[in-house]
């Protein structure tokens, strides 16, 4: 593995961090998979389009460009929404087709998923799709072959590894910052941001942790990555995280319910605060188009 050098920047210029959104709906999250049959997806109320419109307005007000890792299943049903994302100057990247974990697929299945979703998104958005994020950060030590498959499929980078210990995902011994798993001419992996405290990596890149922790603590961790490590932070969120009025399916276990619904009503305001407190840009501009 070869660590990627930080992108050079002008003296005194702020480090640009990567703002990313995983475009999926509330009923597609992996934690709900044991309780929500995939066959029921087409019959459920979709709220992703309205939530994306709010996010696009928020980003436009803040003059922030972001990367939208988009499910093919969503893009197929809301192509005009994907085109609006691209027209607003954002990067459209792939989140796979139907939110299947990479770790639950073999090589032929994974190759089909990443190839079909890439082509679908490119046809709709009218721009190259260079990035991929595995559902639930499901690339780790047991399936690093997936990174080679992504390169073979024409992707330039992945943001699919979270270097933390977690009950659903994580590769705590992975590098904390962007690296080339198989040499500098291969695929670039850009892990979700963590802060090193003692012998552990603490999550600092968004999601449920961002909703649960005090905003000041999250801001401090990202600032620490910028100031002490000299690296860009990678922040991610989902459209359903700004939607406290979303339907609440029955039968969800207590832990999953808490993780999913905690502080949804505060999320939009916290994202707005982030856009004020940090400099942001798209993943491809920060990590692929390096000077």
Check if the beta carbon of residue 67 is closer than 8 Å to that of residue 131. yes
Q: Going by C-beta distance under 8 Å and a sequence separation of 6 or more, which residues neighbour residue 45?
A: 247
Which residue has 């963590």 as its token pair? 194
Q: What is the mean pLDDT of residues 135-155?
A: 95
For the chain, the average pLDDT equals 94
Q: pLDDT at position 166, please?
A: 65
pTM over 0.85: yes
State the distance between the two ends of the chain, measured CA to CA, in whole angstroms.
21
The b/e string for 68-102 (b: 16+ C-beta within 10 A; e otherwise) is bbbbbbbbebbeebbbbbbeeebbbbbbbbbbbbb
Q: How far apart are CA 203 and CA 192, in angstroms?
A: 8
Q: Count CB-CB contacts under 10 A for residue 176.
A: 20
All domains of the chain in start order, with CATH = 17-288 (3.20.20.370)
* Residue 239 Cα distances to 51, 70, 84, 135, angstroms: 5, 11, 15, 15
Q: What is the mean pLDDT of residues 105-111?
A: 97
pLDDT tens column, 45-79: 999 999 999 999 999 999 999 999 999 999 999 99
Range of weakest confidence among 7-11, 56-60, 181-185, 213-217: 7-11
Q: Which of 194, 189, 206 is nearest to 280 (CA)?
A: 206
pLDDT tens column, 8-39: 666 778 999 999 999 999 999 998 998 899 99
Tell me the longest C-alpha to C-alpha distance in the chain. 54
């Amino acid at each position: 593995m070869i660590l990627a050098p930080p992108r050079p920047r002008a003296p005194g210029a702020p480090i640009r961090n990567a703002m990313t959104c995983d475009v999926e709906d509330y009923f597609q999250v992996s934690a709900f998979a044991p309780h929500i049959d995939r066959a029921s997806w087409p019959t459920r109320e979709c709220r992703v389009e309205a939530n994306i419109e709010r996010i696009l307005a928020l980003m436009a007000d803040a003059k922030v460009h972001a990367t939208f890792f988009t499910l093919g299943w969503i893009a197929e049903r809301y192509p005009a929404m994907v085109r609006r994302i691209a027209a607003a100057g954002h990067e459209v990247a792939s989140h796979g087709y139907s939110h299947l974990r990479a770790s639950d697929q073999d090589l032929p299945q994974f190759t089909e998923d990443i190839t079909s979703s890439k082509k679908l998104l490119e046809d709709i958005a009218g721009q190259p799709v260079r990035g991929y994020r595995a559902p639930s950060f499901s690339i780790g030590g047991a399936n690093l072959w997936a990174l080679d498959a992504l390169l073979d499929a024409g992707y330039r980078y992945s943001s699919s590894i979270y270097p933390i210990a977690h009950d659903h995902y994580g590769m705590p011994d992975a590098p904390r910052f962007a690296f080339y798993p198989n040499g500098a001419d291969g695929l670039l992996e850009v892990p979700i941001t963590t802060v090193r405290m003692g012998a552990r990596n603490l999550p600092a890149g968004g999601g449920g942790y961002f909703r649960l922790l005090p905003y000041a603590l999250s801001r401090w961790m990202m600032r620490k990555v910028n100031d002490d490590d000299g690296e860009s932070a990678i922040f991610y969120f989902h459209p359903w995280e700004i939607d406290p009025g979303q339907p609440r399916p029955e039968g969800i276990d207590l832990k999953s319910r808490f993780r999913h619904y905690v502080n949804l009503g505060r999320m939009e305001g916290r994202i707005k605060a982030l856009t004020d407190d940090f400099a942001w840009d798209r993943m491809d501009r920060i990590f692929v188009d390096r000077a």
